[in-house]
Amino acid sequence: MSKRTFVVLAEDDPEIFDSLCERIEDHGFEIETTVEAVGMLVGSMEIGQVDEIRHLSGVASVTEEMTAHIPAPDSDGPF
Amino acid sequence: MEPEPIQELTPEQFAESHSILARPTATGAQILVLREGFDDTAALVNSVCAEYGEYRVASVEPGAELPPDIGPVYDELAIAVIDHPEPGVSVTIAATLAALDEVEDHLPEFYAFADQATGYVNGADTWGRKATGASTSTYTGAGIRVAVLDTGIDLKHPEVSSKVVASASFVPGEAVQDRHGHGTHCAGTIAGEPGITGIPEYGVAPGVDLLVAKVLSNSGSGRQRDIVDGMRWAVSEGANVISMSLGQPVPVGAPHNPLYERMAAYALGKDCLVVAASGNDSARRFGYVAPARAPADSPSAMAVAAVDQTLTVADFSNGGINPGGGELDLAAPGVHVLSIWPLPRRHRSISGTSMACPHVSGVAALSMEATGDSGAALRTRLNSNVRALPAPASDVGNGLVQAP
């Protein structure tokens, strides 16, 4: 088993955010960052356990954290 | 107002411009930047040079000349130039010195081609300023705050540094100072003003206040959480426009990323318009068109494609082929775009939807200054004030962005 970093989005209801954070931690999700303004939690958990949190009430989506890049080719010369 | 016709280059002028771009620009020397105030540069550098033969560096007074086998040390700047006669040795010496606490950075030295650049860019304005109508606009974006979320900015660049009203890094362990160059180039397209004779006007909205959020590392990548942090910071700093020349690939048919959509909608709710590059994953010459990347595919963000100087969609430009937000809004100049680059290089011409995106962000600032429109109303105005292009909306959106 290996841990991965996931982005959890809460449903669009600020009232539930705090309780969701607690409940999601109870399922083994280790919270690293939260941004309450947009209902985002970033944290890690075993990849095999992630389905446990997908179906919690108040969870809108769970996706593996992605990395954004400068969109290549940003370079000199014609292509 | 009818947009100014774009002057086309003759084949000879075009070939000349490309030969300038293709010319090798690195001299082979290394510029060593020491900690500010360090006063024993020559001795330090020579302690390593001594392991590689007779080559040395020495302090040089302004206007004085040194023999060819002696490299200059500018004591007041704490900078040395290492130009060892044997190929590759300068890099080895600089890399050895870079491990010392006294050394802040080392960079390759480049030739400058400032004078030739005027021929390439067709006169007093870059082709991008002409094509968007920024060159004839009476607006400058004064009083409008544009946030650039990218690799940071060269805070010492004389052509843009005075425009930066706030900056912050969201990349762990890295300062705002741009060690990549991409962020500086994008910021320059929005707000730069040439400081050298012969360099044309290239900034679309030189009157704006720049907010700089470093969300991509010096190697050009960034985590979603850091990007979201940067967007929140920009909104909290009063950004009217957020310019994002970044993205992550999206499969054909995939829905938009919910996190970016929520963040873009949050910004829009605060009257802040998010403008994003569609991405450069296409190879149209082979018939392959990739879908717009995230966050450009967010319904609440504007997606920008790139066109070349003939106003043809760029070979690499991603298309509006995914439904539910993946459609394109606008096209803008994105091929051979002249802007600034971190010192000592100063200027550089590069291509990508990353270059098209800040053209739209700059025009958005001009439009906001002209009309007072912001947020969703500003987006509507930008999408309606366009120059129609003979290409489908999936290639160029509503058309070429036009300044008021």
Question: Looking at the structure, do residues B215 and B291 belong to the same domain, yes or no?
Answer: yes
pLDDT tens digits, residue range B181-210? 999 999 999 999 987 777 899 999 999 999
B27 vs B10, higher pLDDT:
B27
Write out the residue range of the structural domain in which residue B272 sits.
Answer: 114-401
* Option in A33, A60, A71 nearest B293 (CB): A71
Question: Looking at the structure, do residues B222 and B106 belong to the same domain, yes or no?
Answer: no
Domain boundary at B59, B81, B110, which?
B110
Q: What percent of chain B has pLDDT over 70?
A: 88
**Cα–Cα distances in angstroms (integers) from residue B160 to residues A61, B189, B212, B227, in the given order:** 40, 10, 11, 23
Question: Looking at the structure, do residues B245 and B393 belong to the same domain, yes or no?
Answer: yes
Neighboring chain B residues of A73 at a CB cutoff of 8 Å: 280, 316, 351-352
Question: Looking at the structure, do residues B152 and B80 belong to the same domain, yes or no?
Answer: no
Question: Looking at the structure, do residues B105 and B146 belong to the same domain, yes or no?
Answer: no
Q: Would you place residue B231 in the very low, low, confident or very high pLDDT band (cuts 50, 70, 90)?
A: very high
Neighboring chain B residues of A66 at a CB cutoff of 8 Å: 224, 248, 257, 294
Neighboring chain B residues of A39 at a CB cutoff of 8 Å: 262
Question: Looking at the structure, do residues B305 and B384 belong to the same domain, yes or no?
Answer: yes
Question: Mean pLDDT over residues B302-331, rounded?
Answer: 94
**Predicted local distance difference test score (pLDDT) of residue B288:** 93
Query: For residue B1, is it within any domain?
Result: no
**Predicted local distance difference test score (pLDDT) of residue B267:** 95
Contacts of B38 (CB under 8 A, 6+ apart): B44, B78, B102
**Predicted local distance difference test score (pLDDT) of residue B79:** 78
**Predicted local distance difference test score (pLDDT) of residue B3:** 39
pLDDT tens digits, residue range A7-61? 999 998 888 999 999 999 999 999 999 988 889 999 999 988 999 999 999 999 9
**Taking all residues of chain B, what is their mean pLDDT, rounded to a whole number?**
86
**Predicted local distance difference test score (pLDDT) of residue B27:** 65
Q: What is the CATH number of the domain that holds B292?
A: 3.40.50.200
**Predicted local distance difference test score (pLDDT) of residue B61:** 73
Question: Looking at the structure, do residues B166 and B265 belong to the same domain, yes or no?
Answer: yes
| Domain range summary for chain A, segments of one domain joined by + | 3-64
Q: Which residue of B has its CA nearest to A61?
A: B258
Is B167 assigned a catalytic role? no
B65 exposure class (CB count in 10 Å sphere: 0-12, 13-18, 19+): exposed
What residue type is assigned to position B103 of the chain?
A: V
Domain boundary at B75, B92, B110, which?
B110
Domain boundary at B85, B110, B135, which?
B110
Does the pLDDT of residue B24 top 80, yes or no? no
Query: For residue B312, is it within any domain?
Result: yes
Question: Looking at the structure, do residues B218 and B102 belong to the same domain, yes or no?
Answer: no
Chain B: nearest CA to A48, how far in angstroms?
A: 22
**Predicted local distance difference test score (pLDDT) of residue B18:** 38
Domain count, chain B: 2
B215 vs A77, higher pLDDT:
B215
CB contact under 8 A, A39 and B257: no
Query: CA B21 to CA B245: how far, in whole Å?
Result: 22
Question: Mean pLDDT over residues B247-270, rounded?
Answer: 91
Question: Looking at the structure, do residues B198 and B63 belong to the same domain, yes or no?
Answer: no
Question: Looking at the structure, do residues B106 and B136 belong to the same domain, yes or no?
Answer: no
Residue A54 belongs to what H/E stretch?
helix A50-54
ipTM over 0.85: no
Domain topology for A3-64:
Alpha-Beta Plaits (3.30.70)
Does the pLDDT of residue A79 top 50, yes or no? no
Does the pLDDT of residue B115 top 60, yes or no? no
Contacts of B51 (CB under 8 A, 6+ apart): none
The catalytically annotated residue of B83, B150, B229, B281 is B150
Q: Would you place residue B6 in the very low, low, confident or very high pLDDT band (cuts 50, 70, 90)?
A: very low
The catalytically annotated residue of B90, B282, B351, B354 is B354
Query: CA B203 to CA B135: how far, in whole Å?
Result: 9
Question: Looking at the structure, do residues B139 and B99 belong to the same domain, yes or no?
Answer: no
**Predicted local distance difference test score (pLDDT) of residue B103:** 87
B91 vs B364, higher pLDDT:
B364
Does the pLDDT of residue B75 top 80, yes or no? no
Query: For residue B17, is it within any domain?
Result: no
0.90 surpassed by pTM? no
Is B137 assigned a catalytic role? no
Does the pLDDT of residue B80 top 50, yes or no? yes
Question: Looking at the structure, do residues B265 and B363 belong to the same domain, yes or no?
Answer: yes
Q: What is the CATH number of the domain that holds B85?
A: 3.30.70
